Structure 1
Amino acid sequence: MLIIFGGLPGSGKTTIARALAQRLSAIHVRVDTIEQAIRASGVADDVGPAGYIVAYGIAGDNLALGRTVIADSVNPLQITRVSWLSVAQAAGVTAVEVEVVCSDEAEHRKRVETRVTDVEGFVKPTWQEVSERAYDEWHGPIVIDTASKTVEAAVDELVVRLNGG
């Protein structure tokens, strides 16, 4: 299975994606980590679509091995969402899309402004950059609102929904 996460920075998607990966013993593929590694290599400061393209390849390799993969990225555009679905289709596995939101704007802003990076050299976006970011409307994914939900409750809800509940 390919579980495709998306959501604005600070919504809680990486925290939930990691916890779900641990719960399911799944592979966690994080585009932020890949993009920062490309920057750190000195090949490019502006990685463009490279991080996503690398992530698609890593996900595909692990799906081919029969592993469940959790794709963790902002996934802001319809084209990236379609590309993730194509990865699942090529591997012959089920794809499930999960959008993580934080409906409490004050809480979301606090998270963006106070979180510490865990990827060396990665510069987190400002609240202004997050709030002005291009983000296509998404139709049909599972939506998890982290505004008043613990990580454990969000993961429990996802596990139930992934199992058809």
Structure 2
Amino acid sequence: MTPELKTIVQNIEERQPLARGILAEKFHADPAKDHRSIYRNRNDKLGIDFSVDVLDFPGAQTFDTRIVRIAAGCKNELHKHAHESLFCVIDGEAEVRIGDEFLRLMSGELAFVPRWVFHQTRNVSASHELVLLAITDFGLTKAVLGNYDKRTRLAANGADAMTPIT
């Protein structure tokens, strides 16, 4: 068991809040401005143009909340990873590939991606940015596996990313 995982288990067993003394306003986020950039990839040849920002909530150990922005007519990488993901379309219309299946999502709709399933999101609009809220258990899987996130990214030559099918 990694030290990070031991800490998570210990915190759960102690039944104590991790964000004691934090003002309630710190648990609110505006996706348009309350974020920290963590990843961006653009590859015109492959039609990839997206960015990933993280919303930092106090006390979060297992949840990882991200804002994904995909440019008009573009997509993110076809990739897989150890964490589960729940996608909610905040603004726009998306086509989400999960394995070999495709879902069409409108604003307010959700899609769930299980661990280790290849997936990709495409912005259906030719003129407007797609904005997604992605909620994952990256904190938990990182505590178990270490920081494996670069393995999932095409721009970092990640082993768990592959060139998208056009």
- TM bracket, shorter-chain basis: under 0.3
* Structure 2 length-normalised TM: 0.28
* Structure 1 length-normalised TM: 0.28
- The structure with the larger Rg is 2
More helix by share: 1
More strand by share: 2
By relative contact order (CA 8 Å, sep 6+), the higher-ranking structure is 1
